[in-house]
Amino acid sequence: MNATVEDIEGDVSRRDFIYLATGAFAAVGGAVALWPFIDQMNPDASTMSLSTIEVDISPVLAGQAITVLWRGMPIFVRNLTPEEIGKAKAVDVADLKDPVARLLGSTAELPASAANITKPGKENWLIAVGICTHLGCVPKGQSPGDPRGPYGGYFCVCHGSIYDTLGRVRGGPAPRNLDIPPYEFTGEAKIKLG
């Protein structure tokens, strides 16, 4: 069964998501301005996430992952193990199907290295848009017991796309790596998305 991008919010909120409603909150000012606007433009958007959210990721231990909703998109947050980091860094970017780090909203074409996909000193944290770049399904790999494919990252069951632990496409029909949303660390284990 294929899911479209339009289906994702509904699907994930029911099944695939841990939506950190209590752990995510709007940046000061953002919520006040945004919510009335959304409510006026589209009542159905009352469930939309805010444009900027902060997420406390401290409960996510090495080897664990959570998915949060941001701007209607599932955002994969994964705390990579030292072994996973080591394997990801050992990959020759030139061998990748898509050698470019896909930074959402940026036209920069940086190599898809661990250094460009993660933040300095935070190489263990993958923060990526959990939407398959083929036709928009949500890849598996976030939940315990999910298929993760031969690279231990993500596997899209819709048509078989394979991603590694940094969201880099390694097989199947997906043309591009998972997008990396704009984010920054605002604390040792706290991120601001957007």
Q: Which two tokens stand for residue 101?
A: 């780090």
Q: Which stretch binds ligand FES (CB under 6 A): 15-23, 24-32, 88-96, 169-177?
A: 169-177
Residue from 80, 126, 174, 193 touching ligand FES (CB under 6 A): that is 174
Task: Establish if 12 lies at the interface with ligand FES (CB under 6 A).
Answer: no
Task: Establish if 110 lies at the interface with ligand FES (CB under 6 A).
Answer: no
Task: Establish if 161 lies at the interface with ligand FES (CB under 6 A).
Answer: yes
Q: Which residues contact 193 (CB under 8 A, 6 or more apart)?
A: 52, 53, 54, 55, 68, 70, 75, 127, 181, 182, 183
In angstroms, the CA 32 to CA 34 distance is 6
Given the residues 109, 159, 175, 184, the one annotated as active site: 159
| Residue 111 Cβ vs ligand FES, minimum distance, rounded to whole Å | 24
Residue from 24, 55, 117, 158 touching ligand FES (CB under 6 A): that is 158
Task: Establish if 134 lies at the interface with ligand FES (CB under 6 A).
Answer: yes
> 3-class SS at 86?
helix
| Residue 161 Cβ vs ligand FES, minimum distance, rounded to whole Å | 4
Q: Which stretch binds ligand FES (CB under 6 A): 17-25, 64-72, 115-123, 156-164?
A: 156-164
In angstroms, the CA 156 to CA 76 distance is 14
Residue from 85, 132, 166, 169 touching ligand FES (CB under 6 A): that is 132
Distances, alpha carbon 159 to alpha carbons 75, 132, 152, in Å: 21, 10, 17
159 is an active site residue: yes
In 3D space, the residue among 145, 101, 169, 69 whose CA is nearest the CA of residue 156 turns out to be 169
Residue positions annotated with a catalytic role: 159
